[in-house]
Amino acid sequence: MTSPSPWIPKLGAQLVLASASPRRTWILSQLGIPHLVDPADIDESGEDESDPQTLVLQLAAKKAIETSRRRPGDLVLGADTIVYLYPDVLGKPGDPEHAREMLTKLSGREHIVWTGIHLAFDGLPLAGRAVPATVKFRSLSHDEIESYVATGDPLDKAGSYGIQGAGLGMVESLQGCFYSVAGLPVAATIELLREWHLQQTNGLNQA
């Protein structure tokens, strides 16, 4: 059972995470934030990838809204993470060969990991945040890339790696929030939920 959060007051609504990511639900649980999981199923194709900050916010909002439409009265949190290696957005690889290509591009270079979070209520978008973190990979050998791809870990992750697992061994440096790279920026999530609670409280006081 999750202990009460010292960071988030009682929200007055059930929080629902519109993501099947075990990393995101683990982060919320570590923060002591009670929540349910109800993943969104959205079409991510056709989005403009020229502005990664806008893109990741749009995707997080679409996820939140899609789940919120079937969960009236619940507060829904959507999240999305992309890897940006100028000028390309690196999504999830289609197969092991695609993962090898991505990891080869990232080897020895800096890239930006953008994670967007967005709230929705009764099918309407509320507020969101987009959080960047700069990650630099050390130079990877062919054998290292092959060994990592063979674990299967890259195949369901943006940019073909997860920093919270074996992929951490590729990282030379990180500037920003580690948990944002893992899928859910801690400070931004706390701030977003506290702001929503404050707005609800002020609304009740003024009624």
Asked if residue 120 is part of any domain, the answer here is yes
Asked if residue 196 is part of any domain, the answer here is yes
Contact 29, 93 (CB under 8 A): no
Contact 129, 186 (CB under 8 A): no
Contact 153, 167 (CB under 8 A): yes
At 101 the pLDDT is 96
Asked if residue 150 is part of any domain, the answer here is yes
Q: What is the pLDDT of residues 127-156, one digit of tens each?
A: 999 999 999 999 999 999 999 999 999 998
Interacting residues of 166 by C-beta distance below 8 A, sequence separation 6+ = 148, 151, 153
Catalytic residue among 38, 41, 43, 80, which? 80
- Beta strand 75-85 with 15-17 is parallel
Asked if residue 10 is part of any domain, the answer here is no
Q: Count, in order, helices (H) and strands (E) of the chain.
A: 6, 7
At 91 the pLDDT is 87
Asked if residue 4 is part of any domain, the answer here is no
Asked if residue 2 is part of any domain, the answer here is no
Asked if residue 52 is part of any domain, the answer here is yes
88 has catalytic annotation: no
Give the confidence band of 206 by pLDDT, cuts at 50, 70, 90: low
The tally of domains found in the chain comes to 1
CA-nearest of 172, 169, 189, 62 to 120 is 62
- Choose between 204 and 102: higher pLDDT: 102
Q: What is the pLDDT of residues 13-72, one digit of tens each?
A: 999 999 999 999 999 999 999 999 999 988 776 566 789 999 999 999 999 999 999 999
Residue 177: pLDDT above 60? yes
Check which CATH number belongs to the domain holding 48 and give it.
3.90.950.10
Residue 205: pLDDT above 60? no
Domain that holds residue 149: 15-206
Asked if residue 6 is part of any domain, the answer here is no
